[in-house]
Amino acid sequence: MKEIFSILAGLLFVAAFVPYIRAILRKETKPARASWLIWATLDTITLAGMFFKDAINGQILGAILGAWVVAILALKYGVPGWTTLDKFCLAGAVLGIVLWQVFSDPIFGIMTSLGVVFIGSVPTFTSAWKDPSRENKLAWMIFWISCVCAVIAIPRWTLEDAAQPITFFVVESIMMYILFVRPRASR
């Protein structure tokens, strides 16, 4: 049953990119460049660590596929310019990569990458907080449902198996709050 939820999580994550990419191309969504470059790069690093620990799940595969497409689109259609926060988050991503190489430990690499993934989410959180209409609510809702499936699919409660789905769930839950709960609270 956990394998089914893992596959479902991956398929949903890919499916969430469809309305998100469509919204970018229609100029209805302006992705934060720094977040998507960080997410794509660090998802790839996380996958490598998970591969070495034999802990790959469907969600991370779906995340990498879509994140790279959005990262490329964000360079053209994303929020223009690079803020100090964006530069700080990119520096954090580089630091995460360096630390993994220095310590040569897949678990350390997974945890460092996921920590920086969370930090790299800050530009998107900030952008959505300022203007929730910049983000595609349907896509984020599907991302969040994928995260629920991925958490259900965790095969063992070890760092290599649980850290990535839980980190993604926290990031998507924050976006759910910003996009769906906060607008009502501010009225």
pLDDT in tens, 107-147: 877 888 788 888 878 888 998 999 888 889 999 999 999 99
Pick from 83, 85, 67, 69: nearest CA to 25: 69
Report the C-alpha gap between 131 and 126 in whole angstroms.
9
pTM: 0.83
pLDDT for the residue 183: 66
pLDDT for the residue 110: 81
pLDDT for the residue 187: 52
Q: What ranges do the domains of the chain cover?
A: 2-185
15, with CB counted inside 10 A (0-12, 13-18, 19+), is: middle
Low-confidence ranges of the chain (pLDDT < 50): none
Using DSSP's 3-state secondary structure scheme, residue 98 falls into: helix
